[in-house]
Amino acid sequence: NNENGKIEVLGSASVPAQGIKRGIVINIDEATEAVERLLHEIGQQVGGKIKTVDIAFAGQQVKITEYKGYRYISGEGVVIRSDLDALYEEVKNLQTDKEFTTIHIIPQTFVVDGEPADLNPVGMTGQKMEATFKLISVPETHIANFRKVLAMAGAELGEVVLSPIAAAEAALTGDEKEMGAILLDIGAGTTKLAVYNQGIMTHAAVIPFAGNVVTHDIREGCSILPKWAEQLKIQYGQALGDFADGSKVVTIPGHSGWEPKEISFKSLAFIIQARIEEIIDSVYYQIEKSGVVNQLGSGIVISGGTAGLQNLISLIKYRTGMDARLGYPVLRTEDGLPKNTRSEYITALGLLKLALDKTKPVTKKRVKQKRENKFSPWLKEIVQGVINYIDDDDDVALK
């Protein structure tokens, strides 16, 4: 942060996500090449080498486990920081699955001698402290692949943050989290969401289909090449078939002796709408699964590469019955991003915020923020880089 309290973005870059599919590394060499190019571009902008990189995880294999623990309060019956730390350490050492690594420990409730407490019970009096946590875990093999790619590119892996949690840090206000809100990130390979209520992240999920599946449907439905399908989606697509102009058509050039093909805007829109409705229904299932569907007063905030699809917000409102808006960074930042691309950098900006939060002195009021992140030691110096390169469309690095 600079002296004005704003996040100062010193450099930014974006490269194609080679070797990445649906949020995971599928080709080490290709992914390494992409990251090397990315780090080189950033290094030239900032005049130095990026040594440590935080990443946003967007793979579909996300496991969420609830854990209830308790601890008898030591000393004179007043909750002190060491009581809290001991309880977190107990949760940290849980072995829920040897093949998974826990990347987030998120407190949900604290109770002291039967009395509900806030997420910082330090100073309360009693004999017994109980707590409920959500543990978010991802496959260790995926983390190992990310670590290997970064090592081959000359950097170290820092923190791993679930992608929608990072995005929510940049796109949701404190009031929205308190009233209840969903951060919905519809990317290319996966659709991610995080549900917040009373300021707490209560549920998260990664759905294994998004914008690329829409492109595939257009290719199949119109019998055209993938490159034309993607271009049609971006330039002429929309999410509501009834709103499309039935008199307008777009002509796809012929190839290999085949005649040019005309596709109506309305036909294109209905193909897109069918798949988007399926995605929205899957999202709403996860919202219901959160258990707080009737407590989400702020509604849905939409980000990701598919968020700009015409009439998407209207369709989401109709299918869910909830308010919705397009996501944009709510953080105070100094301009250092390409113009008109700030919404595309939401997840990377959220990673920066989380990294910067950990460099600030920890006070009692910051216990909740501290523990919502991965439980590694606090960084002594400013984080040197973050990458949101784990989805297929938003390949962004910031310093």
Cα–Cα distances (Å) from 39 to 13, 246, 252, 307, in that order, read: 9, 47, 38, 27
Q: Over the chain, what is the mean pLDDT? A: 86
**DSSP characters over 283-297:** HHHHHHHTT-GGG-S
CATH 3.30.420.40 fits 7-60+142-210+275-398, yes or no: yes
Per the structure block, which two tokens stand in for 391?
A: 């989805």
pLDDT of residue 298 exceeding 70, the answer is: yes
302-356 per-position pLDDT tens digit? 998 899 999 999 999 999 999 999 998 887 666 556 554 556 788 989 998 998 8
CATH number of 63-138: 3.30.1490.110
- In angstroms, the first-to-last Cα distance of the chain is 11
Where are the domain boundaries for CATH 3.30.420.40 in the chain? 7-60+142-210+275-398
CA atoms within 13 A on the CB side of 395: 23
250-275 per-position pLDDT tens digit? 999 887 778 889 999 999 999 999 99
Q: Which residue has the higher pLDDT, 48 or 239?
A: 239
Where are the domain boundaries for CATH 3.30.1490.110 in the chain? 63-138
| Integer Cα distance of 28 and 264 in angstroms | 41
167-211 per-position pLDDT tens digit? 999 999 999 999 999 999 998 889 999 999 999 999 999 999 999
Report the pLDDT value the prediction gives residue 179, as an integer from 0 to 100.
97
Percent of the chain surpassing pLDDT 70: 85
Report the pLDDT value the prediction gives residue 2, as an integer from 0 to 100.
55
**Averaged pLDDT, 220-231:** 93
What confidence category does residue 5 fall into, taking pLDDT thresholds of 50, 70 and 90?
A: low
Find tokens 């290999």 and name the residue.
256
Q: What pTM did the predictor assign? A: 0.84
344-399 per-position pLDDT tens digit? 788 989 998 998 887 764 443 444 344 343 333 333 333 345 555 445 544 433 43
115-129, 149-163, 200-214, 261-275: least confidently modelled range: 115-129
Do residues 290 and 202 lie in contact, with contact meaning Cβ atoms separated by under 8 Å?
Answer: yes
**Averaged pLDDT, 132-147:** 95
